[in-house]
Structure formats: structure tokens, C-alpha cells
Amino acid sequence: MKKVIAVFLYFFLIGNSHAAVWVKLLDNNNAKITLDKQSILQKDNLKRAWVKVEYKTPQKNPETVDKQYNIAKLLWFFDCAAQKSATSQVFQYLNSELVYSVGIDVKNAEFIEPVPETDVDIAMRYVCKPDKPIAPATPKTTAVKPLAEKSALEKPKGETNKPEAVPVKTEEKVNVDEKPESTAVKLPATKPIPTKASHGKKEEHKPHWTYEGKEGPESWGKLSPEFATCDVGRNQSPINIEETMHATLKPLKAIQKFAAKDIFNNGHTVQINFKEGNMLALDNAAFQMKQVHFHSPSENTIRGKSFPLEAHFVHADAKGNLTVIGVMYTEGKANTALAKLWEQLPNEISEPIELKNRVIPSDLIPENRSYYRFSGSLTTPPCSEGVRWLLMKNPLTVSKEQIEAFKHAVHHNNNRPVQALNGRVIVE
């Protein structure tokens, strides 16, 4: 540990010996984020940069609940090719007083995919721009686990030297809206976006999986090499939403007026396919709504609470990247839109059945579109990661009879257990 601290302090002093040029990345009601462009360095496949976050209101550090801070200086490392990041050093101040600092060797740091539009994501987009000038490599560095990741991190023993003040020379306003080309994991060719041709009766050549017994969720990753991510993936869904980070999430922009066309039972769930035209604009990309399917009880939970029914609206862009809008249902008044769909609810595995009643997506999504956002995966094999999740905060109602009708159709609970966050951040 003494060696880690020594390297940490040495690197900090060396890394701050330059004249800083602070670039403004974001300034909103929550925080101002600036990045020292002179600190951008590259070694091997990683880039690093110092970032300063000035919060408009004091923040609480979960490691030291008795102390607050309103300024954080962080050294972030970025794997631009994988679009992942890790925090290497953290200094927190209350005005000018240092209240907390911590560090860990970068070789032991866990690189994770940042949630879009968070401070880490914004910084990564700036640093990873291909036209950024890269400074020469520096001596061996150290790294820190971000507080938001809430993973075990050993705090250095003794007091850490207070860092020298970094002179502010200039501050630029930059545009970070243009993202590098997405590296999100797409659905494998063996698991295509649901279509009439690929869904109906179970495909014979697919490895068989279930929600219980020897082929249940605990065994999915061992049933086939194709399903290995179910075991080894670090960003798996569903999750429990407990602690969140407040951010400026953009209102959802969507076209949801084209009706559902057919319904079928694939043995795992009941799925409704939509006509083309329903779109979601997100992260400078257009995602087309493909289908909605249901889980009972809910897969995601909110502060430990499970819901009797959850709907997943699956969207895909032209490159195959996925976004899922999740909607929770509580038991109460009968849902009018579901009542129309349930009139043709197939109680056994079936081919797609053309719907007689007109139901559009907005009938099944709450009017209040406040949402949680996080990175995750498919909740069924092959459990592919890189899925953008938008979980609506406000539930709709569904009657007890409608819940029971769905359970009767699938003959079993069809929810995967909650998965570990592994340092992921949930924003709202």
C-alpha cells in the first residue's frame, strides 16, 4: 500500500506540473464540468485526462457520510476502442478545503461502459475524438475506483498530501454532441430482431432454456457457448434501482402512432409486433420500435419492490444497437389497451395471429415520460450487452384478472432474477 501511495503522489505532482487549459464540457443546473486538455495523455491503448466537476449544490460522499463536497477533481482513464472508462484518482473539496482523496493502481481498476450523457460519458466523447492531439506517454500511473461505482476500494492509510492548485489559463466551450462510432454489443446473427419469420414456434436448432429447473437462469451461461455472456457479462439485466445520480436527461422524442399488427406466444412470453414507423430519437440515432413483450412478475425492481407485470418495448437502430423502454404495471383498474390485446391472447405456443383491435404503443406507455436510464443487456439468452435501458418511473394499472390471464398463457413465472450492478450508474 505504501508503494501505491508513493506512486500515486509522485504521479499527481508530475501530472500537475503543466499549465492547465480548462475546456468547458457542460454547464447546467446541476454542475459545471471542465477538462484540462493539456492533461490528455496516451499510453498503450488508454487515454487519460483530469476532469473537474463543480456542483451547484453540495454532494454527499457515501464513504464519509459526515462530509460534503461541491468540487471534485478526477483522473479518468479511457479505453476508446471499447468505449469504457475507469476513475484513477479522486479529490473532493468543500470550496477550497480537501475533504477526501483516494487512489488505486490503474491495472486493478475496473473499466465499465459509462451511462450516456453522464459526466464520464461527456468527457470520454471529448478525449476519444480521433482528431485530438495526443501528448507523449507519462511515467507509470495509478488509478481510483469512482465513488458512484460503489465497489470495494481500499483507502490509502494516513493522510494524502493536499494537491497543488492547478492554474487556470483558458476555458474553451466545446461541442461533444458528436459521438464516436458506437461499439455497443449487437444481437448476434443467431438471435435476430424479432420478425414474423423468426418468431412463432420455437426453433429446433436453438439451445433449450427455461425459467426454472436445470435449464433455468442459473444455468443459462452453461447451456451453450452462445449464452456465455449470461454468466460472464458485467452489465447484465435486470437490475434493482436503488441509488441514482441526477442528470439532465433529455425528454423522450418518439413517434408512437403506428398500430400493433400481430400477437403470438413463443413459450417464454407473449409478444406483440408493431407495424413500421414507430421511432425513438436517442443519442443522435433513430431507433425503430420492433415489438413489446411482457414479464410477470417484473424483472427490474425499484428500491426492492417488484411489480406484477412489466412490458419491454424493444427498439433497434440501423446498426442493430438496441434500446428497451420498460413499463411497470401495478394491480388495480383494468388496462383498456391490454384488454383489446388479451382478446386474442394465445394460451399455447402459436404462430403470429393478426390483431383485430387497433392498439398503438402510446396506449401502453404512461403519459408522464420521466425515466431512469442505465446500460444493460437482454434479459433472456444470449444476454447480449450494450443495451440502452429506459425504465419509466410511473407505472400503469392492470387488473388481477389480466395478470392471471397472462400467467395462464405462459404457464410459469417468466422473470430473470435481478443481476449485480458491478459499478454501473443509474441516472434520472
C-alpha to C-alpha distance for 280 and 263, rounded to whole angstroms: 22
Q: Where are the alpha helices (DSSP H) in 74-212?
A: 119-127
Question: Residue 416 carries which side chain, given as an amino acid letter?
Answer: R
Calculate ∠ Cα 149-151-157, nearest 5°: 115
| From 199, 268, 293, 312, active-site residue | 268
CB 270 within 8 A of CB 406: yes
CB 92 within 8 A of CB 99: yes
Task: Give Cβ neighbours of residue 310 (< 8 Å, ≥ 6 apart).
Answer: 294, 295, 296, 297, 298, 299, 300, 326, 327, 328, 329, 415
Q: Is 268 a catalytic residue?
A: yes
Half-sphere exposure of 157 (CA within 13 A, CB side): 3
C-alpha to C-alpha distance for 335 and 280, rounded to whole angstroms: 24
Calculate ∠ Cα 121-125-127, nearest 5°: 115
Distance from CA of residue 133 to its chain's centroid? Answer: 30
Q: Which of 39, 36, 35, 121 is nearest to 78 (CA)?
A: 121
Catalytic residues: 268
